[in-house]
Amino acid sequence: MEIESMVANSALIRAREGGGKGRTWKWKELLRFPPIGQCAELAMSIEREYHSLCVKQPIGKKLFQLFCQTRPDLQNSIFLLDALEDFETKSDEERKESGIRIINRFLIQESSQCVSALLSHEQRCRHSLEADPCSDVFHACRKRALHEYLSGGPFSQYQNSMYFDRFLQWKMVERQPITKHAFRQYRVLWKGGFGEVWACQVRATGMMYACKKLEKTHVKKRRGEAMALNEKELLEGLNSRFVVNLAYAYETKHALCMVLTMMSGGDLNFHIYNMGEPGLSGERVQFYAAQVCCGLMHLHNESILYRDLKPENILLDDSGHIRISDLGLAVRLKDGKLAHGRVGTLGYMAPEVIGHKLYGMSADWWGLGCLIYEMTAGKPPFRARGEHPSTSDMERRIQTDQEEYGEKFSAEGKQICSLLLNKNPKHRLGCQIQAGKDVQSHYFFQKINFRMLEAGLVKPPFRPDPRHVYCSDILDIDEFSTLRGVTLDQTDKDFYAKFNTGSVPVTWQNEIIDTGCFEELNVFGPDGSRSPDLDR
Ligand code: ADP
Ligand code: MG
Ligand code: MG
Count CB-CB contacts under 10 A for residue 413: 22
Count CB-CB contacts under 10 A for residue 25: 7
Residue 342 lies in a domain: yes
Residue 535 lies in a domain: no
Residue 91 lies in a domain: yes
Average pLDDT, the chain: 92
Residue 459 lies in a domain: yes
Q: Name the domain boundary from 421, 441, 468.
A: 468
The conformation of residue 142, written as its DSSP 8-state character, comes to I
Phi-psi region of 358 (alpha: psi -120 to 50; beta: other; left: phi over 0): beta
In this prediction, residues 330-349 reach a mean pLDDT of 90
Model confidence at 91: pLDDT above 70? yes
Residue 28 lies in a domain: no
The parent domain of residue 233 ranges over 3-23+176-264+477-503
User: What pLDDT, in 10s, does the model give residues 298-337?
Assistant: 999 999 999 999 999 999 999 999 999 999 999 999 888 9
CATH of the domain at 489: 3.30.200.20
Q: Is 306 in the same domain as 414?
A: yes
Q: Is 249 in the same domain as 320?
A: no
Q: Is 260 in the same domain as 276?
A: no
Give the position, in ligand 1's atom list, of the atom nearest the Cα of 195: 3
The conformation of residue 527, written as its DSSP 8-state character, comes to G
Model confidence at 350: pLDDT above 80? yes
Q: What is the number of the ligand closest to the CA of 262? A: 1
Q: Is 413 in the same domain as 350?
A: yes
Q: Is 197 in the same domain as 126?
A: no
Residue 32 lies in a domain: no
**Spatial distance between the Cα atoms of 166 and 153, rounded to a whole number of angstroms:** 20
Q: Name the domain boundary from 130, 158, 186.
A: 158
Helices (H) and strands (E) in the chain, counts: 26, 10
> Residue 527: which pLDDT band, with cuts at 50, 70 and 90?
low
Residue 516 lies in a domain: no
Strand partners, 257: 213, 250
Whole-number pLDDT of residue 66: 96
Q: Is 303 in the same domain as 395?
A: yes
Among protein residues, the one whose CA lies closest to atom 11 of ligand 1: 190
Q: Is 87 in the same domain as 112?
A: yes
- Segments of 328-476 assigned E as strands: 331-332
477: closest CA among 5, 3, 13, 11?
Answer: 5
- Protein residues with C-beta less than 5 angstroms from the ion ligand 3: 326, 328
- 488 in Cβ contact with 253 (< 8 Å): no
User: What pLDDT, in 10s, does the model give residues 11-58?
Assistant: 899 888 876 578 999 999 999 999 999 999 999 999 999 999 999 999
Among protein residues, the one whose CA lies closest to atom 19 of ligand 1: 197
Residues annotated as part of the active site = 308
Q: Is 112 in the same domain as 201?
A: no
User: What pLDDT, in 10s, does the model give residues 173-199?
Assistant: 999 999 999 999 999 998 887 889 999
User: What pLDDT, in 10s, does the model give residues 201-245?
Assistant: 999 999 999 999 999 998 888 888 888 999 999 999 999 999 999
CATH of the domain at 384: 1.10.510.10
**Spatial distance between the Cα atoms of 445 and 220, rounded to a whole number of angstroms:** 44
User: What pLDDT, in 10s, does the model give residues 390-423?
Assistant: 999 999 999 999 999 999 999 999 999 999 999 9
Q: Is 138 in the same domain as 16?
A: no
Model confidence at 535: pLDDT above 50? no
Determine which helix (DSSP H) or strand (DSSP E) holds 310, and give its type and residue range. none
Residue 337 lies in a domain: yes
In this prediction, residues 348-376 reach a mean pLDDT of 95
CATH of the domain at 123: 1.10.167.10
3-state secondary structure 46-108: CCCCHHHHHHHCHHHHHHHHHHHHCCHHHHHHHHHHHHHHHHCCCCHHHHHHHHHHHHHHHCC
> Residue 256: which pLDDT band, with cuts at 50, 70 and 90?
very high
Q: Is 251 in the same domain as 139?
A: no
Q: Which residues line ligand 1 (CB under 6 A)?
A: 189-190, 192-194, 197, 210, 212, 244, 260-263, 267, 312-313, 315, 325-326, 328
How many angstroms separate the Cα of 117 from the Cα of each of 61, 114, 123, 150, 386? Answer: 21, 9, 14, 10, 65
> Residue 366: which pLDDT band, with cuts at 50, 70 and 90?
very high
**Mapping DSSP to helix (H, G, I), strand (E, B) and coil, where does residue 418 land?**
helix
Q: Is 97 in the same domain as 201?
A: no
Q: Name the domain boundary from 451, 468, 485.
A: 468
Q: Is 252 in the same domain as 275?
A: no
In this prediction, residues 147-162 reach a mean pLDDT of 94
Strand partners, 267: 315
Say how many domains are in the chain: 3
**Spatial distance between the Cα atoms of 313 and 369, rounded to a whole number of angstroms:** 15
**Segment among 17-21, 250-254, 433-437 with least mean pLDDT:** 17-21
Q: What share of the chain is helix, strand, coil (3-state, %, to 5)?
A: 50, 10, 40
